[in-house]
């Protein structure tokens, strides 16, 4: 594919060679083939690839997953896992890095091409959405206006998910009529999600609103979401890959 530069991170020489040949036949430009995470990080800086294929089990460990975490947090480049694993624990760890796809070894050339195209398209759309969302900074006044516009009756109550509701007046969240004990930050983030139901709350918006714009990172938001999810009965907080989180409207 014209002008699409791909970096391969694969420590099996035969697999790496077959991948490179298949990609080149589809018109992609393979900028480098790396056998380790250290080599890959050097090549990322040197080559600035458009997308990266990462073996999930580099050097028979979790180096591929560790590398993927760095790719997402430090380089903001879409990546796809190469895997022959079906181990639930490994797959669970990999999911947390929010990859743009999986390619199972031995790979099918047509599926490889399709997975890369879908990943590039998803990354492009996410980037456009992120720009749109980050242009809408939610301050406390605007958030209260958004919340009151979502009331379902004359009472200050906003239902969401199944059997949940936010009482605006009390600034408390309830499940089946029972109050959920939340910290100040958890409560603020949940109010932000409810105020923007159906639209992703970006990491930047969360940091600006919950932490007043300082003293937090994307990992701070992820940790907050992890704690909040542990207190909710259902998985109502959804990932918007590369952007943030949302609750379905």
Taking the chain (249 residues) in consecutive chunks of 10 residues, what is each chunk's mean pLDDT?
A: 86 93 94 93 93 86 84 90 77 85 89 93 79 56 78 82 89 92 93 89 87 84 93 88 86
Residue 171's pLDDT is 87
Residue 166's pLDDT is 92
Residue 187's pLDDT is 92
Handedness of CA 42, 109, 66, 73 (dihedral sign): positive
Residue 72's pLDDT is 86
Residue 133's pLDDT is 53
Please, what's the b/e burial string for 193-211 (b: 16 or more CB within 10 A of its CB; e: otherwise)?
bbbbbebbbbbbbbbbbbb
User: Residue 3 is encoded by which pair of tokens?
Assistant: 């002008």
User: Residue 12 is encoded by which pair of tokens?
Assistant: 């099996």
Q: What is the fold of 5-134? A: Rossmann fold (3.40.50)
Residue 129's pLDDT is 66
> What is the DSSP secondary structure assignment for residue 162, as one 8-state letter?
T
Domain chopping of the chain, boundaries: 5-134, 140-246
User: Residue 208 is encoded by which pair of tokens?
Assistant: 């600006």
Specify the CATH class of 140-246 in words: mainly alpha
């Amino acid at each position: 594919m014209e002008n699409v530069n791909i970096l391969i991170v694969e420590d099996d020489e035969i697999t790496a060679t077959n991948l490179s040949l298949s990609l080149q036949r589809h018109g992609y430009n393979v900028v480098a083939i790396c056998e380790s995470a250290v080599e890959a990080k050097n090549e990322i800086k040197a080559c600035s690839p458009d997308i990266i294929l990462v073996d999930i089990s580099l050097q028979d460990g979790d180096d591929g997953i560790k590398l993927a975490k760095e790719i997402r947090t430090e380089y903001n480049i879409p990546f796809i896992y190469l895997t022959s694993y079906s181990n639930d624990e490994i797959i669970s760890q990999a999911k947390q890095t929010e990859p743009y796809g999986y390619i199972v070894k031995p790979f099918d050339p047509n599926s490889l091409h399709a997975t890369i195209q879908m990943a590039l398209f998803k990354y492009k759309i996410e980037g456009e959405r992120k720009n749109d969302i980050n242009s809408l900074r939610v301050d406390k006044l605007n958030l209260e206006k958004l919340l009151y516009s979502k009331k379902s009756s004359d009472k200050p109550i906003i239902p969401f998910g199944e059997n949940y509701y936010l009482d605006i007046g009390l600034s408390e969240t309830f499940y089946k009529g029972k109050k959920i004990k939340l910290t100040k930050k958890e409560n603020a983030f949940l109010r932000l999600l409810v105020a923007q139901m159906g639209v992703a709350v970006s990491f930047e918006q969360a940091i600006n609103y919950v932490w007043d714009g300082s003293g937090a990172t994307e990992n701070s938001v992820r940790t907050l979401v992890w704690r909040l999810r542990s207190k909710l009965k259902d998985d109502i907080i959804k990932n918007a890959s590369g952007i943030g989180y949302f609750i379905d409207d």
